[in-house]
Amino acid sequence: MFKKTVKVTNYSQREKAIARYMQEVNDIQKAGISRRELFKMGLTAGVGGLTAIGGRHFLPNLAEAADRGLISPPCRKPWTEPLPIPKACQSVGSFTGPSPEEGKCGEKHMLWNPGKNDFDDFEEARDEAHQRWSELGGLDACTKYELMVREIDWNFYSAQEYPAFNSKVWTYVDLNSDAVGVLRINAHYGEPILMRMYNGLPKDDKENQGFGINQCSPHLHNAHNPPESDGGPTRFFDSGKWWDYWYPNIRAGFASTHRNGTWYNGAWCPGDWRETQSTLWFHDHRFDFTAANVYKGMASFYTLFSNDINLDTGDETTGLRLPSGEYDVPLLFTDKVFDQAGQMFFDTFNLEGIVGDMQTVNFKIKPYMYVKRRKYRFRCLDAGPSRFIELFLSNGAKFTRIANDGNLLPKAQVVSSVRLGVAERADVIVDFSQYAPGTVIYLENRLEQLNGKGTSGKILPSGSKTQLLKFIVSGDPVVDESAPLSTLQSQVMVPLPARTNPIKVNRTFKFDSSNGAWTVNGRLFDPSRISAYPAEGSAERWTLNSSGGWSHPVHTHHEEFQLLSRNGKAENLAIDDKSRKDVVRIGDGAVGSSGSGEVSYYIQFRDWYGDYPLHCHNVVHEDHAMMIRFRIVPPDDSKAGK
């Protein structure tokens, strides 16, 4: 199956060797061998670089080859394609299929599947009731959306340069609008959403272009949702099925620490208003295949507005008066590698982390965007699979950062750059009003990362290799009713919630490697094992450790946390640690150029019962198999706190 890698002495030989390696990987993946089976066979390029297999060796890490510009076809015509702006999905008054229930509907639904250009019988995926459904208004309170994950053709390159480069992408599609690719759902507190998700992927799993699996579990990242709608790693379902995801859009504490609700701006809301969120995203989470499925395109935005308390309203004349409408732009950054035919390539054998040689913004390589002479809100998301990024503006202008992960900050931060690990988010304000028409400014990633181990911490000089997105200032000044930067930088937005709930339990989780795979507390992920049982309504201190020079962006489902210390000291916390978080970077390169092998945070477990995961969001690490599950149980449960 494998051929011995010969010593490469010139460009063409190396290029051919890489192409041969990519073809061999594709052939093995198309044979349907799972990555766990490959791991057992020893056919991996595991931790540490090269692995010898019977005297035959894989090529060096693809990131090293990519650094030489010898993998993906080059982008010789940058800035010729406009930035795809994520379109908002459209709600419907009622579903065309079975009416949603608190539990199982139990009916089939004949639905047109655009991916197949045919009708399919879709069945409900599972029988699992929605917690607190009637308490929070049931079906009558819901805004309804119908989405399908299916295969489409997508050209990541410039169509002028490579018109035939239509890669097979698995992505979310809104069935009631033309929103496709990276899209967004606009949600509001106090208005639950019921999202019916159809799995319309090819039923023949061999039709996957060599990677990914035709099962899905869409996870609404950072949402305070019950586990049956969280999109956890074990709640996946097959092609030809659907599931109604119920997102109550309610603040944490509503059924426990803040049963009587809270007041803000003269308005009452359930839960603690200081738990208000803003920028969320949803992506696939099927265990063992999260990296491949998300890499293939299953990622989009969920923007949550708090007009119920006149805060982040989606209207720049009210509340915090943040840039809104067409001036509120989500940006999804992700790495890719392509073969010579323009098809995405995914390296199953790379367990360190995939660092591609092409960085995309909203699924485009080096797009441009015309901006008007006014302020914009950019919601920046690092969607991985493994690269850390640090964003700069090429002219040296500073960002006004208003949010970290899904949360508005206590106070805006004026920063020269923004560092993000995989799954981290940052909302920033950029004011283009001071620039003359025709001014060009580039959004750049200047953080060096040569392999999946993590960033080197080196900041690269500004230049063509660091440029991701081209802003072109156009026209005369336009009406800008958003708040002045001076106001945004001085006003209090969302203060940190008080940590009045006492810590009952301390837990430690060590993120490490073993025999070429990834572990938590020395164990590989086992979907049948529960590793911790927090009591509902309680608070705990969790400490995460990482060694070996690796960097891990660690994500906790269910509730956000507040960082207490790095390496045992509160004074080691960085500026972007001082907020509510759902992802924390640990290890070398976590903060600036300095390492942070240990972090501790305060986390609460409120309102819902059931199981959720804790995992590394370098999704290659997650799949091999750096994840555990915990289960929230009633305080009187015999396992509570264990």
- The lowest-confidence range among 375-384, 407-416, 573-582 is 573-582
Query: What's the pLDDT score for residue 118?
Result: 87
Show the DSSP H helices in 283-399 as ranges: 290-295
- How would you class 619 by CB atoms within 10 Å of its CB: exposed for 0-12, middle for 13-18, buried for 19 or more? buried
Sign of the alpha-carbon dihedral angle for 336, 337, 340, 343: negative
CA nearest 379: which of 417, 420, 427, 313?
A: 427
| Chain position carrying tokens 């201190």 | 541
What element of type H or E holds 273?
Answer: none
Sign of the alpha-carbon dihedral angle for 91, 92, 96, 102: positive
Question: For the chain, what is the radius of gyration of the CA atoms?
Answer: 24
Q: Residues 295, 308: contact at Cβ < 8 Å?
A: no
Q: Residues 215, 334: contact at Cβ < 8 Å?
A: no
Query: What's the pLDDT score for residue 515?
Result: 79
- The lowest-confidence range among 55-69, 239-253, 462-476 is 55-69
33 CB-near residues (< 8 Å, 6+ apart): none
CA nearest 304: which of 276, 275, 283?
A: 276
CA dist list (Å): 481 to 10, 39, 318, 370, 375: 58, 56, 9, 19, 9
| pLDDT tens-digit map of 271-328 | 999 999 999 999 999 999 999 999 999 999 999 999 999 999 999 999 999 999 999 9
Q: Report the DSSP beta bridge partners of residue 509.
A: 544
> In which band, very low, low, confident or very high, does the pLDDT at 15 lie, cut at 50, 70 and 90?
low
Q: Is the pLDDT of residue 259 over 60?
A: yes
The better pLDDT of the pair 253, 549 is held by 253
Q: What six digits make up the tokens of 409? A: 């900050």
572 CB-near residues (< 8 Å, 6+ apart): 565, 566, 591, 596
End-to-end CA distance of the chain: 48
3-state secondary structure (DSSP) of residue 133:
coil
Query: What's the pLDDT score for residue 39?
Result: 56
Domains and CATH numbers, the chain: 11-67 (no CATH), 503-632 (2.60.40.420)
Mean pLDDT, residues 259-275 taken together:
97
| pLDDT tens-digit map of 348-395 | 878 888 999 999 999 999 999 999 999 999 999 999 999 999 999 999
Query: What's the pLDDT score for residue 612?
Result: 98
Q: Residues 230, 223: contact at Cβ < 8 Å?
A: yes
CA dist list (Å): 522 to 261, 285, 525, 553: 41, 22, 10, 18
Q: Residues 18, 60: contact at Cβ < 8 Å?
A: no
| pLDDT tens-digit map of 104-152 | 887 889 998 887 888 889 999 988 999 999 999 999 999 999 999 999 9
Q: What six digits make up the tokens of 114? A: 């655009």
The better pLDDT of the pair 36, 462 is held by 462
Distance between CA atoms of 619 and 553, rounded to whole angstroms? 9
Q: Are strands 598-605 and 561-566 parallel, antiparallel or unpaired?
A: antiparallel
> What average pLDDT does the structure give for the chain?
89
Sign of the alpha-carbon dihedral angle for 499, 501, 505, 509: negative
Chain CA centroid to CA 627, Å? 16
What element of type H or E holds 465?
Answer: none
3-state secondary structure (DSSP) of residue 216:
strand
Q: Residues 417, 401: contact at Cβ < 8 Å?
A: no
Q: What six digits make up the tokens of 248? A: 């109550």
Distance between CA atoms of 139 and 492, rounded to whole angstroms? 36
Distance between CA atoms of 149 and 178, rounded to whole angstroms? 14
69 CB-near residues (< 8 Å, 6+ apart): 357
Q: Say what percent of the chain tops pLDDT 90.
A: 75
| pLDDT tens-digit map of 435-459 | 999 999 999 999 999 888 888 889 9
Burial 447-481 (b: 16+ CB within 10 A, else e): bbbebbbbbbbebeebeeebbbbbbbbeeeeeebe
* Residue 114: Cβ within 10 Å count: 15
Q: Is the pLDDT of residue 31 over 90?
A: no
Q: Is the pLDDT of residue 226 over 60?
A: yes
